[in-house]
Amino acid sequence: MVTVEQQRVPRKRTYLMCAPRHFAVEYAINPWMDVTAPVDPELAVKQWDRLRETLLGLGHEVQLLAPEPGLPDMVYAANGAFTVDGTVYGARFKHHQRTAEAAAHRAFYESQGWRFIAPNETNEGEGDFAYLPEAHGGLILAGYGFRTELPAHAEAQEALGRPVVSLRLVDPRFYHLDVALASIDDANIVYYPGAFSAASQKVLAQLFPDAVLADADDALAFGLNLVSDGANVMLNSEATRLASRLETAGYTPVPVELTELKKGGGSVKCCIAELRH
């Protein structure tokens, strides 16, 4: 039973997505990518469309980034930049296969009149950064260990004027922060402790004593690669236990099937960047 205190209120969001028109698994840059496993391109587009329609149906705005040939991972729009209060901290990808995506994102933001700050350090946008505007006065959580380099955290703090808490990822299956942790409202998170170093687990426990914790099975089903508007939580349909835990905490799980896009090592959140004006 949800108490009055647990009544969750959604906040309208603006999101950026990129259609999987050129999506394929042509190389392997994370443990989930298998070049021998065929992708159904038509189903990938259908599942992506359903995700976009789900966001629109919940009252959110979705802007679109034009997909470019030769960049099969552009569908993972979360990785191209990180926005806070109208400022964009651009991405600089670790792997050469994705390098050109950063320029496509920069062109989008500059065409929209955003204040864009080009990075000198390797970082993969919202793949490794999460913003909680009401946690401790406005806090950025930042992952490192596999893709984003630690110096990018200091660079992001200077660019965005928000304190950045560095969290070390230790399991290659959780190569980005957004497959191990997500904001579920403006002040709280859900995460899988086993993805983080012992010290980072202590930091998270101190900062977020009321966090929802996920188990290994749901984390490995990409359950934490989710998007929440503060009340409705869009998450991978396979993460059933996590959906129950979120429901117990007063959120409304909205299961989404993304079997094809999982083959590239991503799910709901990877496909969605939040535009924070």
The one-character DSSP state at 123 is B
Active-site residue among 18, 153, 176, 271? 176
The one-character DSSP state at 139 is E
For Cα atoms 43, 45, 48, give the angle at the middle one, nearest 5 degrees: 105
Spatial separation of the C-alpha atoms in residues 222 and 192, rounded to whole Å: 11
Which two tokens mark 106?
Answer: 């920069």
Is 18 tagged catalytic? no
Is 176 tagged catalytic? yes
What is the length of the chain?
277
Strands (E), the chain: 14-17, 61-64, 81-84, 87-90, 115-117, 129-132, 139-144, 164-168, 181-183, 189-191, 212-213, 227-228, 232-236, 252-256, 273-274
Active-site residue among 60, 105, 153, 270? 270
Residues catalogued as catalytic? 176, 270
